[in-house]
Structure 1
Amino acid sequence: MASKRVARLQSQTKQQAEEKQIVARKAVGYVRVSTDEQASTGYGMEAQEKAIRAFAESQGYELVDVIKDAGISGATKPEDRPGFLKVLQLAEKKAFSVLLVWKFDRLARNLAYAVTTVNALQDQYNITLRSVTEPIDTATPMGQTIFAVLAGMAAQERVTITQRTLAGKKEKAQRGGFAGGPAPLGYARDKDGGLQVVAEEAETVRRIYTLRKQGRKLQEIADTLNAEGVPTKRGGLWYPGTVRYILDNPKYQGYVEYYFRWDGENYVLTKGKQEAIIPKAG
């Protein structure tokens, strides 16, 4: 005879299995149409919803909800759409196990976005995607195999995109441009993605350099700024490390510095296009 502890575990397992079986028959429909599509085709919101409801009934699914994104381009990442965010919220609550779409391109026109979203739904929430008009069913082994192939293609596409993006950043840095990341204290991003001086913040930067030249320690400088209520770039408190970052950043002297570690190490230190806040020492 099993112990009480094992009996409790068995009871929990049985309850979890029953709950999983109930959720397994619950589905959410997702429909999306861009403004142009809605105006030029007959497959607008109502047509998609009708097809999804008919399919759910034929398969014996309990349709929890049909969520819509109207006037949203398929080039937009699913997680950036208000309607799809509701889908994710229901997924987190384990309210359903199958996501129904009219066609896979309703999820995303970009293959990488579509496959990445499908994998995330499966891995994080154990949710499968089914198209009511296309034969690929990610709930089946064959459907999973097909999507595995597509996932590999999408992964390679992401690698290629990343390589191009990083190559662009490296080239921009070598030409003295700001190659990304948040603008440091004293600067703001301009409309072209470069850096422009913010007068009030620049004064704080100059003061830090002045205090350091007077022999103040990093902690003393941080304490002084905090006592005077001077905010950091993010509005927080000053620490020795925050002060050190300001003093060690060559951008303030009109330079750009980057250390790239992909595709081999590459160190860049060159004259920048931004206006210097601190004159370069001798």
Structure 2
Amino acid sequence: MNKQQQLLSYAILFGLMLTWGSSFILIKKSLLYFSGTEVGLLRVFITFLFLLPFALRELKNVHRNYFWLLFLSGIIGSVIPALLFAIAETRIESGLAGTLNSLTPLFTLLIGLSFFGFKTRFINVLGVFIGLTGAAGLMITASGGHLGGNFWYAFLVVIASLCYAINVNLVKKYFVGLNSMQITVMTFFYIGIPVLVYILLFTRIPEKLVTKPEAWTGMIYLGILSIVGTGLALIAFNKLIKLSSPVFASSVTYVIPIVAILWGFIDGEHFSTIYFFWMALILGGVYLVNATPTIKKPGVGDKYFTKNK
């Protein structure tokens, strides 16, 4: 990698840090105008609209045998997490959500070990346990030292991170014949139309946009979140992987929580000093998970799925 490519890589990494780290405060602001479910659905739909021209261009290049896998990937990797993050932030701080989101690499390793045939080293497994300990401590501390109230809303973020991890493994194993752009735009293409139908028939979003002018302020937040924080960010992330390496690209995981917490401070959120201890455990665990590469071997998941040719 020459000097120009190196500078571009760091510029993209910095941009992703700001973009993805700011996503959680944008969700919080959107919730002033829409419910958690509405925010999640609109996030997916606006991203679908933005990526639609790219999807139409790629439609003829993606074999229809990939339809169900792409649709499943869109549900697991986009729809469910978007809904869970938005619903969670109706009760927990955006900075906390941003911190718990960094569990994704830990779950990626666990899912890969359990179902997709990866073997690994002791230090990686140790990292998983350290990271999960930090997450449990952070959730319990944030919920006042017990397993009620906000604990379960924080747990929704953990489930969303687990969904991201499942999707990463699905993409890695079953989308070998597609490039990263095709995967991104076609997953949103296949899930976007059903989401639009659901919005029109089963939500009050159209009514709010017609009768409540202030709802359009929420649409501005959602537009930034969807177009910049999802559409453009995914394209930039794919570019970063090509310019550098997956390991370098994944380092954005370590800085997203910092930006999320800073936005929370600016917005007046409470973030106790003890939170930083649990956050350090999470990020330390993520570091150990990425410390040495995993190795592929025949996996349990192989007998449940058939790769499309």
Which protein has the larger Cα radius of gyration, Structure 1 or Structure 2? Answer: 1
Which has the larger share of strand?
Answer: 1
State the TM bucket, normalised to the shorter chain. Answer: under 0.3
TM-score by length of 2: 0.24
Question: Higher relative contact order at CA 8 Å, sep ≥6: structure 1 or structure 2?
Answer: 2
TM-score by length of 1: 0.25
Which has the larger share of helix?
Answer: 2
